């Protein structure tokens, strides 16, 4: 199943900079791992914001939730999840 996930990140001001740097590094490792596994199939930055639009390919809503909740920056994210379906006019 494909899902479009819009993620906005809002790290609180005043959080320890070393802790923030570690979270960001861990987030990068986790995101790249999920991409290599084929679950995080697209990752696009939203220009001008600390946000991304991503496409995940997973078996279920529960699997997507489990994956998203393991992201190190999850506590600081607002997400909007949209299940995707094939469009009848799509060439591929």
The domain limits of the chain are 2-84
State the distance between the two ends of the chain, measured CA to CA, in whole angstroms. Answer: 16
- pTM for the model stands at 0.92
pLDDT band at 36; cut points 50, 70, 90: very high
Q: Tell me the CATH number for domain 2-84.
A: 3.30.70.1060
pLDDT band at 92; cut points 50, 70, 90: confident
- The arithmetic mean of pLDDT across residues 30-45, rounded, is 98
CA distance linking residue 36 with residue 54, whole number of Å: 14
- The arithmetic mean of pLDDT across residues 31-43, rounded, is 98
Contact in structure between 49 and 60 (CB atoms under 8 Å): no
Q: Across the strands, what pairs with 18?
A: none
- The arithmetic mean of pLDDT across residues 47-70, rounded, is 98
- The arithmetic mean of pLDDT across residues 52-59, rounded, is 98
């Amino acid at each position: 199943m494909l899902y479009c996930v819009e993620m906005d990140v809002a790290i609180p001001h005043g959080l320890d900079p070393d802790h923030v740097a570690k979270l960001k590094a861990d987030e990068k490792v986790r995101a790249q791992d999920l991409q290599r596994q084929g679950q995080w199939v697209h990752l696009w930055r939203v220009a001008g914001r600390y946000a991304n639009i991503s496409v995940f390919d997973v078996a279920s809503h529960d699997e997507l939730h489990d994956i998203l909740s393991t992201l190190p920056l999850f506590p600081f994210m607002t997400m909007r999840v949209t299940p995707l379906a094939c469009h009848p006019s799509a060439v591929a």
